[in-house]
Structure 1
Amino acid sequence: ELDPLSPGDCARMAYVQYLKGEYQAAEEHLRRSFELDRDYPEARFYQGLLHLQQREYDRAIECLSPSDFPLEIGLLAAGYARKGCGAQALDCVEKLSRLKETQYVTPLAKAFAAIGMEHFDLAFQRLDEAIDHKTSFVNMLLVEPFFDPIRCDPRFNRLLKRLNLSN
C-alpha cells in the first residue's frame, strides 16, 4: 500500500504512470512528491526522464540543473545533446569524470549520456559495466523508454539475457 505522504511513494507511482505512457498522471504524482519534498532526488530523476521522453528538452534541462547526482547528470547530458547543445553535454560528461575522483559514479550515468549523444558503442560498454556493478536501475532496461534508441541493436538482447530478462 502506498503512503500518500511519502515523496518516494509518490515519485515511484509517477514512474509507473510514465512507463504506462500516462504522462499527465505521472506529472500529477510528481507534483505531489515535490509538494512533500521539493528537492526529492528520485522525483527529479523521474521528472527528467518524463520530459526527455516528451521531447521537452528545455524542461528536462531545467529540472535536472544543477545536480551533483551522477544519474541526473547523465540525463542532463542527454537532454543537452538531444537539444543540439553538444558542448554542454560534454561538460556534463566531464563533470561525471571529475565526480568519479571523489565518489562512486555508476556506469549507468555515462550510459545515459552516451545514449543521448548517440554514442551507442560506448553506451553498450557502460551498460555492461552497470550490470557488472549491479546498478539497481539497470533492471529497468526492458521497459524504460529512454533505451528505445538502442533497443533494435542485437547487443541489447545480450544485455537482457545477462539480466535474465526476456524481450
Structure 2
Amino acid sequence: MGPGRKTRRGIGSRPGRAEAHTSMSQGLEWLEWDLAGAEREYKRALELNPDYVTAHHRYGVFLVVSGRSDEGLRELKRALELDPASLPINADLGNYYCTTLGQPDKGLAQLKKTVELAPNWPRIHALLSSCYAEKGMWNESVQEIVSMGGPGFVPRARMYAATGKRDEALKIIAQMKERSKTQPVSPMALANLYATLGEKDQAFEYLEKAYAERVPVLRGLNMYHVWDPLRSDPRFKDLLKRIGLPEN
C-alpha cells in the first residue's frame, strides 16, 4: 500500500471536519508531493471552518514554498491574528521574511521576538542561524547553533566557504561524513555545503539522495539563496519539476 492510499484511508474515516482535511493536506503535500490535492484539501478545511488557525497557517506555508508569496503571507498573517502567541506561526513568518520574502531585517526582528516567547526552543535558534547566514552574519549564525549545544557544522562550514577558507570547509564536510556512519546526517546539509563551495556535481549527488529519501524540506528548495549557484543548471530545473515547484 502506497503512502497516498494510507493517508486517504486514515482521513476518510472522519469526513467533513476541518482538522481532518488539514491533516490530509499535510500528507499530500509533504509525503506525496501531490500539490493540487493538498491545495484542494486546505481550501476545503477553510470552507468548513474559516477561523481554523492550523489550516490558515499550513496553507500559508504551502503557498509560500510554492512560490505564491503574497497569498501565503496573507494566510500567515490571518493565522497570527487568530493566535498571536503561536510559536510555529511566529517562527514561520520570521523565516519567510528572511528568505522568500527578501526582508531579512524584518525577519530577524520577528524571530528575535519569538525567541523571547520560547528561549529554549531549538527550532527558533536554527531559524535565526539560517537568517543570520542569509545576511552574511556568520559568527552570529554559528553562535545560535552552538548556544543550544549543537556542533554548528553547517553554519561554520558555510562561513568558511563564504570567506575563502575552502580547506576548512572541506574538513568539516569530512567530519560530517564520518559522523554519518553512526548518526543521521541530512543529505540536504551536505548538498547545502557543496553548493556554497560551488561543487555542483557533489551538490546534486546529495540533492538526489534527498529526493530518493523524500526528505520533506526539499519542498522549500526555492526559498534559500544557497541554491542560487545551481539554478541555471538543467538538473536543478528537472528536480524542481519532479517536486512540483515553479522555476524562480
TM-score category (smaller protein): 0.7 to 0.9
Note the alpha carbon deviations across 1:44-82, whole angstroms, 9 max, x for none: 2322222222222232233233625xxx63343222211
**2:116 aligns with one of 29, 35, 48:** 35
Other-structure match for 1:160: 240
Alpha-carbon distance change, 93 to 155 in structure 1, aligned in 2, over 3 angstroms: same
SS in 1 for 2:232: coil
Structure 2: gaps spanning 5 or more residues: 1-78
Rg larger in structure: 2
Amino acid in structure 1 at the alignment position of 2:197: M
TM score, norm. by length of structure 1: 0.84
Q: 1:127 to 1:33 in 2, by over 3 A?
A: same
Q: Which amino acid aligns with 1:55?
A: G
Any idea what the Cα deviations from partners look like across 1:3-55, whole Å, max 9, x if unmatched? 43343322211112122111122011110221122243322232222222222
Aligned to 1:67: 150
**Matched residue, 1:49:** 130
Q: CA deviation at 1:138?
A: 1.1
Q: 1:128 aligns with which of 201, 208, 213?
A: 208
1:26 to 107, 112, 118: 107
How much identity, in percent, do the aligned residues show? 24
Match among 179, 196, 219 for residue 116 of structure 1 = 196
The match for 1:98 among 160, 178, 182 is: 178
Amino acid at match of 1:37: A
Q: Is the 8 A contact 2:104 2:134 kept in 1?
A: no
Distance 2:135 2:142 in 1: 13
Across the two proteins, how many residue pairs are aligned to each other? 164
Task: Assess, with a 3 A threshold, how the Cα gap between structure 1 residues 5 and 102 changes in structure 2: closer, same or farther.
Answer: farther
CA contact (8 A) 1:49 1:146 kept: no
